[in-house]
Amino acid sequence: MSYEGKMLEDFKMPTRKEVEQALLKSLFHHNGVIKEFGARENIVNEIADDFNLNEKQRNAYLETIYKKENRVKKSSLWHRLLFRAADNLAKEKLVSRPTHTFLLTKKKEWMLTEDGYDKTLKFLGIPSAQKEFLPVKSYEVQKIVKKIKSQERPELYSPFDRNKKIITITKEAKLRNRGFRQAIIEAYDFKCAVCGLKINTPNTTQWEVEAAHIVPHSSFGKDDIWNGLALCHLHHWAYDVGWFSFEDNFRVITSRKIQTLSHDYGKMWDYDFIGQLAKRGSIISLPDNKNNHPHLSAIIWHRENIFLKQSQ
């Protein structure tokens, strides 16, 4: 048995497979990314806590003797085990290596890949349909987010993709949906563009806000940042059905039919979720970066094809 193997046995360290699972679980709970393991990184202790490692196990060192240089190099047994487990996950393409992730995000992090994400969901017993709603990042989705955010804003924009298949069942289409959603809600700082509502789940992992298409999928709308808006559930619904739309300067316009509604419609205590919009006639909150604002061609299409048709 190797020196390292003997040390692992002597100190009753967890097996590499167990550490691999713990790493995947940890990645899942950290939204798909954990920092490269540096000395004294929290994550190193966090996973050690998972295994209830005692002080001896945490502080065990391997000593390598460099005869030529006449020195002894000490390396943490736990740290090495952790690194070997992560390295193996990378070899199996279940995570991307920090050097590889860096090229995409400029951060040295281990990141789940789609395969790693699927495997983690399976072993945590979470249905894969949850992927649409969980905020966990994956390398493939981050690639799409980067592409959506870095495209140059065109002067003339067509929000339609005539070649698009409306039934999005392919793996690629699902990835694109998640990329679109994430790019939009990040660009709008997780707030509804109309009412400003910003709220996450009590465990802070999910956001209430949704990524709305201005030209919807059913009308061949593209998954671009210029065809999207971040809206809360209520305003997403109200926008899709044409209760409100926007002028070219993003001022909210509401359907005249609001006046015909019975007085107890659309109210939550004192809050009148459509009527208030009508009174305020306010301009929505858009991303700081103008490149990420919706394109006029999409705004006009919604006004003419959804709003005006519903409001007549």
**DSSP structure class, residue 86:** H
What are phi and psi for residue 255, nearest 5 degrees?
-65, 140
For Zn ion, the closer of residues 80 and 235 by Cβ is 235
Residue 295 phi/psi, 5-degree rounding, is -85, 145
Q: Smallest distance, Å, CB 254 to Zn ion? A: 13
Q: For residues 77 and 7, is the Cβ–Cβ distance under 8 A?
A: yes
Q: What is the closest distance, in whole angstroms, from the C-beta atom of residue 230 to Zn ion in the complex?
A: 9
Question: Cβ 246 to Zn ion, closest distance in Å?
Answer: 14
Task: Name the minimum Å distance from CB 280 to Zn ion.
Answer: 13
d(CA 242, CA 306): 5
Q: Encode 1-27: b = buried (16+ Cβ within 10 Å), e = exposed.
A: eeeeeebbeebebbeeeebbbbbbebb
Q: CB of 211: closest distance to Zn ion in angstroms? A: 13
Nearer to Zn ion by Cβ, of 131 and 235: the residue is 235
Our CB check for Zn ion shows the closer of 48 and 195 to be 195
Specify the residue, 34 or 195, whose C-beta has the smaller distance to Zn ion: 195
86 vs 209 by CB, closer to Zn ion: 209
Q: How far is the CB of 159 from Zn ion (least distance, A)?
A: 22
Residue 68 is encoded by which pair of tokens? 């030529």
List residues binding Zn ion (CB under 5 A). Answer: 192, 194-195, 197, 232, 235
Take residue 282 and report the two structure tokens written for it.
């306010």
The answer to whether the CB of 26 falls within 8 A of the CB of 43 is yes
Structure tokens that stand for 45 in this block:
């202790």
**Closest approach of Zn ion to the CB of residue 269, in Å:** 16
Residues 300, 308: Cα–Cα separation, whole Å: 10
Pick between residue 144 and residue 232 the one whose CB is nearest to Zn ion. Answer: 232
Residue 223 C-beta: closest distance to Zn ion, Å:
22
What gap in Å lies between CA 21 and CA 23, rounded to an integer? 5
DSSP characters for 284-301?
PP--SSGGGSPPHHHHHH
Q: Residues 40, 42, 44, 50: is their CA dihedral positive or negative?
A: positive
- State both tokens at 213: 């298409």
